[in-house]
A and B are shown apart, each in its own frame.
Chain A
Amino acid sequence: MNTGIPLSYFLILAAIMFFIGVYGFLTRRNLITILMSLELILNSVNINFLAFNRYLYPHKLEGFFFSLFVIAVAASEAAVAIAIIINIYRRFTTINVEDVDTMKY
């Protein structure tokens, strides 16, 4: 299995995906699209964990379980973030980060 695909290909793919997520995180203004960029970042980290686990330590399961926990944390984070976003929308009728600045000093 995995014939002809070096480990570095997976790592480069994950790095590109991570920095696309960072770009979206920096440029987006809508809270939900920021959350989507965050999901991209978490997903690229998962690819890294699983590739390392398969190529470098195939007799162990650390990366496997770590990515399982990352997925669980991402799910709970998305749930809480969306609850906060809906609450912000209820108060300000917008989810644009530049209009929600009441607590800004």
Chain B
Amino acid sequence: MTANQIMFFLFSVVIIVCSILTVTSRRILRAATYLLFVLVSSAGLYFMLNYQFIAAVQLTLYAGGIVVLIIFSILLTSQISQKFEPVGWEKSLFSAIASIAGAFITIITILDFKFSASTEAAKEINMRLVGNSLLSVGKDGYALPFEVITILLLAAMIAAIVIAKKAGPKDPQSQTTKH
């Protein structure tokens, strides 16, 4: 086994074990920590695929940003010491059947299909190329999705502020739904 293979299997084991723990752990803060391990290991996989930029974005945005956001909202909304009640066996059995059957079919299909690996030389990815492609409107340009994503991010920011801001005293909803 080469070092590359050993690294791949290490990352895969961490990803699979921590994914299972993320969806089954009964303490919510631990589930968030396992999710962090999954995201960091997938950043390692991106490094192995030689996509350093995506790996860095994954580390800063996913592992750094989204997980911190999730942990903040956990601290705001949950009792940390409290454990979830266990999932009912019927629900867990049928969900497990559905997901194992889906995974089985997908893996059979993947193993059945013959992928023909490309022999073309890999393109060197540097930041100049990424920036030029993101703003180019010609062939291999991604200006339109880039603009759409900027509008989406602006809309998401405004929506998050509007939804989460405290309702004013004149807001009729805030008086009718006091618990």
Listed in ascending order, the chain A residues whose CB lies under 8 Å from chain B are: 1-5, 7-13, 15-24, 26-30, 32-33, 35-37, 39-40, 43, 46-47, 50-51, 54-61, 64-65, 67-69, 71-80, 82-87, 89, 91-93, 95
Contacts and interface: CB of A to CB of B under 8 A. Distances in A.
Interface residues of B, number: 86
Contact of A55 (B51, B76, B118, B179): B118
Contacts of B161: 83
Contacts of B103: 15-16, 18-19
B128 to A, nearest CB: 13
Contacts of B142: 65
Interface of B: 1-2, 4-5, 8, 12, 15-16, 19-20, 22-24, 28, 31-32, 35, 38-39, 42, 45-46, 48-51, 53-54, 57-58, 61-62, 65-66, 69-70, 72-74, 76-78, 84, 87, 91-92, 95-96, 98-100, 102-103, 106-107, 110-111, 115-118, 120-123, 125, 129-130, 133-134, 140, 142, 145, 149, 152-153, 155-157, 159-161, 163-164, 177, 179
